[in-house]
Amino acid sequence: MKKYFALLLTMLFLGCSGGSDKPDPQPTDEGKDRSVMLKALAENMIIPSYDQFKTKFDLMSEKSKAFAAKPDAQTLGAFRSAWADAYVAWERVELFDFGPAEKQTIRNFFNIYPASEAGIAANIADPTSSLEVPASYATQGFPALDYLINGLGANDTAVLAQYTTDKDAAKKLAYITRVVTRMESLLGKVMGEWKGEYLNTFISKTGLDIGSSTSLMVNGTVLHYERYIRSGKFGIPSGAMANGIAAPEKVEAFYKKDISKTLAQTAHKAYVDFFNGRHAVTGEAGPGLKTYLDALGAKDSSTGKLLSESINTQFQAAAAKLDALKPSLYEEVKTNNQVMKDTYNEMQKAVRMLKVDMTSAMSITITYTDNDGD
């Protein structure tokens, strides 16, 4: 009988403790799941934004070919319009300068300004010149096309003469084709990687080390806001970063000055949308840097509010300054430069929040250097 009770107790014990060597499932805070954030940003923002840009770029390419085949007022006008639309669309993807874009250094080949007029002239004279070296950055991309279709003459008649009656007209047309073709090749490589193996790599590298997707993305996008929006579009032309010495000739779209504000507005809004995880097509907010910061409980030490709220408030303050500017940032620098400096100063406040407060909350190490005093 004793053996029977011992056996019974043993069976009851085993029945109650079965699987006790496995831990109970723990609830997952999806907001802190970086794979969710990375997947959403890649599939809802990065890839669709590239698709949208490619549509505009392809139209520009088509119009450039029509102009090269028959340079006249009509084809020039159509090329210019498509170029401006593609340039604006570029501002929505330029911030994704990590992963494939960084590998191809596409920004340096697409949007280094001011364009080098002397370098472009040298490349036109020598069709075998390299467009793959750093010295060639300012001789190609959107700024070079800006010069070639807007800056080669004082008016449309003078510009068209460069492509019809000038002794080097054929070479200049060939160079436009060369620049556009190279841009098409680089864009294809970047998009091909995003739509290929890199997408899975990006989503799967969920750590916080220097080589992780979150670290690369945060470093790349913070650098973009700091150096290419705040500094490139405002700090350098206004002189706010050059001992007060204004340089209006260094504004973006120098030869088509009336779109410079639109380019800056688009770039700034694209960054804000990215921070808030807004879908490139629907505009609906989803997982992104904001939701991740909120899940971490990151607070603004000076106000006690959610850090994401303070960052968005500062974005709004910077956007308000930007929106109040005239269409030509060149004219603002020349006639009312303080408003350019004010815009720069508001963006600088956002830089500190992104580069110091946000990265600290995320345990991200800033791996780039910038001589901005931060």
pLDDT tens digit string along 132-179? 999 999 999 999 999 999 999 999 999 999 999 999 999 999 999 999
Domains identified in the chain, total number: 2
If asked whether residues 211 and 198 sit together in one domain, one would say no
If asked whether residues 193 and 221 sit together in one domain, one would say no
Coil/strand/helix, residue 252:
coil
Read off the pLDDT band of 234 (50, 70, 90).
very high
pLDDT of residue 199: 98
20-67 confidence digits (pLDDT tens): 344 433 334 567 899 999 999 999 999 999 999 999 999 999 999 999
Chain center to CA of 129: 28
Angle between helices 289-296 and 260-275 (to 10 degrees): 40
Sign of CA dihedral 127, 133, 134, 137: positive
63-103 confidence digits (pLDDT tens): 999 999 999 999 999 999 999 999 999 999 999 999 999 99
If asked whether residues 238 and 214 sit together in one domain, one would say yes
192-226 confidence digits (pLDDT tens): 999 999 999 999 999 999 999 999 999 999 999 99
pLDDT of residue 242: 81
Last residue of one domain, picked from the residues 180, 204, 228: 204
273-314 confidence digits (pLDDT tens): 999 999 999 999 999 999 999 999 999 999 999 999 999 999
Q: Is the pLDDT of residue 10 over 70?
A: no
306-343 confidence digits (pLDDT tens): 999 999 999 999 999 999 999 999 999 999 999 999 99
Q: Is the residue at 17 inside a domain?
A: no
Q: Is the pLDDT of residue 15 over 60?
A: no
Last residue of one domain, picked from the residues 204, 226, 261: 204
Contacts of 222 (CB under 8 A, 6+ apart): 351, 354, 355, 358, 359, 366
Read off the pLDDT band of 126 (50, 70, 90).
very high
Q: Within 10 A of 67 (CB to CB), how many other CB atoms are there?
A: 24
Q: Is the residue at 19 inside a domain?
A: no
If asked whether residues 136 and 92 sit together in one domain, one would say yes
pLDDT of residue 30: 63
- φ/ψ of 298, rounded to 5, equals -65, 130
Last residue of one domain, picked from the residues 204, 238, 254: 204
Mean pLDDT of the chain: 92
Q: Is the residue at 273 inside a domain?
A: yes
Q: Is the residue at 243 inside a domain?
A: yes
Of 255, 267, 241, nearest in space to 372 by CA:
241
If asked whether residues 78 and 220 sit together in one domain, one would say no
If asked whether residues 54 and 195 sit together in one domain, one would say yes
pTM flag (> 0.85): yes
If asked whether residues 171 and 49 sit together in one domain, one would say yes
Residue 321: give the domain boundaries.
207-366
pLDDT of residue 3: 41
How far apart CA 295 and CA 300 sit, in angstroms, is 14
